[in-house]
Amino acid sequence: MKFDSIIKAAEGPRMQVPEGWGQGRATFGGLVGAILIRHMQANMDADAALLRSFSLSFVAPMVPGPLDLDMVTLRAGKSVTQVQVSGRQDGQVVATMLASLGHGRESQLRVPAPRAPACKPPSECFKVPFLEGKSPDFLRYFNLFYAGGNIPFSGSKEPDFQGYMCFSEASDNQDAATLACLADTWPSSVIPMLSRPAPMSSLTWTMEYLVDPATLPPVDCWQYDVRTDAFADGYGQSQATIWDDRGNPVAFSRQTFVVFT
């Protein structure tokens, strides 16, 4: 089932989570985030404020099958609105998101976010192959390009990497939901340090939007750079920056993740 069809179905109170988007026994986290964002945006007023940030907790694996969605507006102020969106299967919460939306306001302060670092183009990067039966199922829908030497399972002494991301078949959408989906396609930031595959998953995920992706000119590939803050006892913390293909900063992504090794 195509991405655009899935998030279109997410606009209603009940949908079917499709097969083929798995990451282990769970549905790919980027799709989970996109579903919740699209449900929220479809059920808010047309003049709703810009999504500034969300925090998503993966409470339990979301699996193929019926999914019930609901949204609660916790507070709607003059400038800022706080919303909670949840997905339930068999009556149990599997994912819940707290989202903050805010209208722009006049300010004398401005601190620009960093421009994209120099990076070779996607055509010169290592493209991650999709290997049936070995790669996570969802990867068939995306193109990932590693721009440096820190590729997965290379046994590097250092974590972190940078590259580019896009859908393998262009989406008709370019919005907060689609960018969230793309941002989570990347594996955990410590994956270059591994010498062989190991199970890993996100525990919590936060994204902060600097601009609304829907207001930007069409982007072919988004540039991505992730840095590890710390890793110990099987848990890691990382932060990433996302730029459009003109080098403009668009979003920050932060995760707490688990590696089972």
Q: What is the pLDDT of residues 147-181, one digit of tens each?
A: 987 888 999 999 999 999 999 998 899 999 999 99
pLDDT at 86: 98
Residue 224: pLDDT over 90: yes
Structural tokens at position 238: 């990382």
Residue 259: pLDDT over 90: yes
pLDDT at 134: 85
User: In the chain, what are the domains?
Assistant: 3-104+115-259 (2.40.160.210)
Q: Is 216 exposed, middle or buried (0-12, 13-18, 19+ CB in 10 A)?
A: middle
Angle at 18 between CA 17 and CA 23, to 5 degrees: 90
For the chain, counts of helices (H) and of strands (E): 3, 14
Residue 46: pLDDT over 80: no
- pLDDT category at 216 given cuts 50, 70, 90 is very high
- In angstroms, what is the C-alpha Rg of the chain? 18
Query: Alpha helix locations (H) across the chain?
Result: 3-9, 29-42, 176-183
Q: What is the rounded average pLDDT of the residues 187-215?
A: 93
Q: What is the pLDDT of residues 47-72, one digit of tens each?
A: 778 999 999 999 999 999 999 999 99
pLDDT at 148: 81
Q: What is the rounded average pLDDT of the residues 230-234?
A: 95
Residue 24: pLDDT over 90: no
More confident residue, 106 or 245: 245
Residue 106: pLDDT over 90: no
* Cα-based distances in Å from 261 to 33, 45, 151, 199: 26, 46, 18, 7
Q: What is the pLDDT of residues 90-105, one digit of tens each?
A: 999 999 999 999 998 8
pLDDT at 23: 87
Structural tokens at position 91: 């009556």
pLDDT at 133: 84
Q: What is the rounded average pLDDT of the residues 23-30?
A: 90
Name the β-bridge partners of 254: 206, 239
Mean pLDDT of the chain: 94
